[in-house]
Amino acid sequence: MIKLARYLKPFALSLALAIALLFAQAMCDLNLPNYMSNIVNIGIQQNGVERAAPDAMSENGMKLMRAFMLADEQALVDANYTLVDASQTDASGKAYTAAYPDAPDKIYVRNTGLSEDALSALDTAFGTATWTMINVMRDYASAQGASGQAGMPAGADDIDLSRLYGMLPMLYALPEASVLDAHDKAVANDQMIRKQSGVLLARAFLSELGADMAAIQNRYIISVGVKMLAIALIGGIATVLVSLISSRVAAGTARNLRRDVFRRVESFSNNEFDRFSTASLITRCTNDVTQIQMLLSFGIRLVCYAPIMAVGGTIMALRKSAGMAWIIAAACTLLIGIILVVVSTVTPRFKLIQKLVDKLNLVSRENLTGLMVIRAFAAQDHERARFEGVNADLTKNTLFVNRMMVLLMPLMMLVMNGTTLLVVWVGAHQIADSAMQVGDLMAFIQYAMQIIMSFLMISMMFIFLPRASVSAERIAEVLDTESSVRDPEKPKHFDPAQPGVVEFRNVSFRYSDAEENALTGITFTALPGQTTAIVGPTGSGKSTIASLLLRFYDATEGRVLVCGADVRDVAQAALRAKIGYVPQKGVLLSGTVGSNLRYGRKDAADAELEQAAAVAQAAEFIDAKPERFEADIAQGGGNVSGGQKQRLSIARALVKKPEILVFDDSFSALDFRTDAALRQALRANTGESTVIVIAQRINTVMNAEQIIVLEDGKVVGRGTHRELLKSCPEYYEIASSQLSKEELA
Ligand code: ADP
Ligand code: MG
């Protein structure tokens, strides 16, 4: 996983932007419940009056409140309130009359531009004064032995201000000690409760001045609502942008990964192809990369957002009610427990699933490419069973994993709903005790949900992560595999004095997974202008010689020299540019006849194509096609016969006009007549090229200047046809099985 982190580097800027946006989104989401709580608490329950310190009040009102304040509180109020003349005819006077139509000539108004600190100090002062008043009234009532006003009235409308004003002279006559005592008791109350009671009085003071209470409420609710809308909009925009960025980053990273895996695979020598199966390489380049892409597009969104929400939500929830924190802690503990159980059962399955996808690919690939063989041997049932076995395995494991994931959802819902229930239960008691407001309870529930959701998201990551990390490992394995055949740091040059000379010096070779040498102590030289033939039974190592010459593998021992240079000392491209190779199995690429022939030399002229086709005996069937060189070749050359494929492969090598031509059993699919014609044409056209012909047919090699006889990877004879018939019993044996008595003589 870490190894692939460098693939995120090009997207560092996008990632930083995404994180910033996620932060913005989280802030928005965290603030919305707070505003909602304000609408409920202030907008609905306090009729839109925010503060215990009223915006304006009558002189009597001020007198009443001051009666219950200590000196420092009185000083604070004096500093922040101004007595104004509301009956003036100037602009400010008119504004006062409009806002407070019932106001007497002189009213106290709160100074504008006060800091939040000053305002909340004022709120506390007024709230405390309200409770001091309540306490004084209680004491007074009990002293009178009458059932006077026992506590706070239920609503602002129940407050009879004129009755209170009537008591003013009596209140100012009270002994200072009793006020102090009541004040001490008031301070013992929760600040929030003091403020709420203060707000009730503030509303009474405002409506005394004739303020439009309904308008105040509307104004408050609408202003908070508009803020909420704006925040939701910003949050929404951030969400969309983050999704866009994360998708781009994920898709871009996947593209780069695929490109690098593909390039790496292309550089692989046959050794590495033997190690990874083709099916597995395809899965790694497609499915595994997709896993990473999925992880990224979810991950970028979740990895940053969820922790911010978890921490932010906890802070906000604690601010709303620290007393209920234990509920969130309990819910989270339960969640983590559930997640741990699920993750630990699911993770091992992911590794298995990727392996099974590999296997499914392998079986389907083999079945599709080998369809004809399967049908010819009536092995459909066997293959079907094989496919169904793998398919069922994959299905079983995928189902298991998905069942576990699906189980997660209802469990989470249970925890969430249980939490809500508990919060409402506990919160209701707190509200009954006036320790909490309804809006705060609602906000607390929302924060609890946000916290749980963020844990859920983090847990999802823990489920995706193991799967993606399996994939990442598989990709990194490919990327970390250095091709065993590599270009030298400082490529040497070929010896211009030895053009086309091929020399094997005591070469031995063993396939990496084999126990025995495929070739042992091979020594020979092939000269330009001559044909060197290699004959031997199947499995004797003929194709392996061609592979070493083209440096598909490196020799285990000894040296392979081309044009006087060791093949390990020159660039692979330079080496292969010198060689025209016709593989044992003709392989064509999708395109046209012309595009296939030009594969080795893009700028070959039409006449050269014609000539190469004529030499390769391919002209006849090309001419039979109306589009000739423009005729389509299907993928893998599926629409031409084996013999035609071979002839096109030969023509392709000839168009390249290489110094060295290697034919690996290229004439085996040709009939005798075509074989003979082709050899004759070749002889006339290859000129100074070194021709290496690998064959099993004696006819094909009879006229070669040099024939090398291979058996079990060793050279058992070398010479011309005539010499070998006499000196080499292995050659004689092959020849006698193919030629008539007269030809052997
Ligand atoms: P020929 O072309 O003469 O029929 P090859 O050169 O293809 O023979 O193979 C020589 C020996 O090497 C054989 O025994 C074969 O089984 C083995 N061999 C060929 N290719 C591989 C491979 N990729 N991995 C392991 N062994 C191989
Ligand atoms: Mg072979």
Q: pLDDT digit string (tens) for 688-700?
A: 888 898 988 888 8
Nearest CA to ligand 1 atom 27: 511
Of the bound ligands, which one is closest to the alpha carbon of residue 272?
1
Query: What six digits make up the tokens of 6?
Result: 């460098």
Ligand 1 atom 12: the closest Cα is on which residue? 518
Residues pairing with 580 in the sheet: 661
pLDDT digits (tens, 9 = 90+) for 320-341: 877 888 888 888 888 888 888 8
- Whose C-alpha lies nearest to ligand 1, atom 17? 518
Mean pLDDT of all residues in 102-124: 88
Please report the pLDDT score of residue 155 as a whole number.
54
Q: How far is the CA of 538 from the centre of ligand 1 (A)?
A: 9
Q: What is the pTM (predicted TM-score) of this model?
A: 0.69
Buried b vs exposed e over 386-397: b needs ≥16 C-beta within 10 Å? eeeebbebbeeb
Find the ligand nearest to 539 CA. Answer: 1
Give the pLDDT score at 158. 66
Task: State the Cα–Cα distance between residues 124 and 58, nearest whole angstrom.
Answer: 20
Could you tell me the end-to-end alpha-carbon distance of the chain, in angstroms, rounded to an integer? Answer: 70
Give the least confident one: 30-34, 119-123, 597-601: 597-601
Superfamily of chain region 502-706: P-loop containing nucleotide triphosphate hydrolases (3.40.50.300)
Ligand 1 pocket test target in 511, 692, 715 with most atoms within 8 Å of CB: 511
> How many angstroms does the Cα of residue 542 sit away from the middle of ligand 2?
5
Calculate how far, in angstroms, residue 450's C-alpha sits from the geometric centre of ligand 2: 67
Residue 230: predicted pLDDT: 95
Could you give the 3-state DSSP secondary structure of residue 618?
coil
C-alpha–C-alpha distance, residues 254 and 268, integer Å = 21
Least confident segment among 23-27, 164-168, 407-411, 668-672: 668-672
- In eight-state DSSP terms, residue 715 is E
- H or E segment and range at residue 117: helix 116-144
CA 110 from centre of chain? 57
Domain ranges of the chain: 2-36+223-263+274-480, 51-211, 502-706
Which ligand approaches the C-alpha of residue 552 most closely? 1
Strongest mean pLDDT among 374-378, 415-419, 492-496, 734-738 = 415-419
Give dist(CA 527, CA 500) in Å, integer.
7
Cα(484) to centroid(ligand 1), Å: 18
Q: Is the CB of 269 under 6 A from ligand 1?
A: no
State in Å: Cα 540 to ligand 1 middle.
8
Q: Tell me: domain 2-36+223-263+274-480, CATH 1.20.1560.10, correct? A: yes
263: alpha, beta or left? (left if phi > 0; alpha if psi -120 to 50): alpha
pLDDT the model gives residue 255: 93
pLDDT tops 50 at residue 466? yes
Q: Strand pairing of 56-58 and 106-110?
A: antiparallel
Please state the φ and ψ torsions of residue 662, each to the nearest 5 degrees. -120, 120
Ligand 1 nearest atom to the CA of residue 584, by list position: 2
Structure tokens belonging to residue 480: 């970390």
Give the distance (Å) from ligand 2 centre to CA of residue 585.
Answer: 9
442: left (phi over 0), alpha (psi -120 to 50) or beta: alpha
Residue 251 pLDDT greater than 90, yes or no: yes
Query: What average pLDDT score do residues 410-420 get?
Result: 88
DSSP conformational letter for 602:
T
β-bridge mates for residue 690, sequence order:
660
Please report the DSSP string for 457-500 in residue order.
HHHHHHHHHHHHHHHHHHHHHHHH---SS---SSPPPP-TTSTT
